[in-house]
Amino acid sequence: QAEDGIRDSVASRGLGDVYKRQISSGPEVLNEMINKTNGKRTIPQIFFDNEHIGGYVEIRELEKNDKLLESLK
């Protein structure tokens, strides 16, 4: 799954823990995610220190271009 790849990528770089929130746990969780991501509804959506980084595609693009660590500073 996409989220497993992201979790592994973060862990291998020593960037900290990955927390998972189930948007299916209630409409308030889904609405919170949509608000924090400026309307994005795809999952996973990645946050670092409560800052929205992007979804799977954006994370992989940052990683591919060696900019993931830079974007997390």
pLDDT value at residue 27: 92
% pLDDT > 70, the chain: 81
> Buried (b) or exposed (e) across 12-22, using 16+ Cβ within 10 A?
eeeeeebeeee
Highest-scoring range by mean pLDDT, 7-11, 12-16, 42-46, 67-71: 42-46
In the three-class reduction of DSSP (H, G, I as helix; E, B as strand; rest coil), residue 46 is classed as: strand
Q: Is a pLDDT exceeding 90 seen at residue 37?
A: yes
Asked whether 44 and 55 are in contact (CB, 8 A), the reply is yes
Provide DSSP, 20-44: ---GGG-HHHHHHHHHHTTT---S-
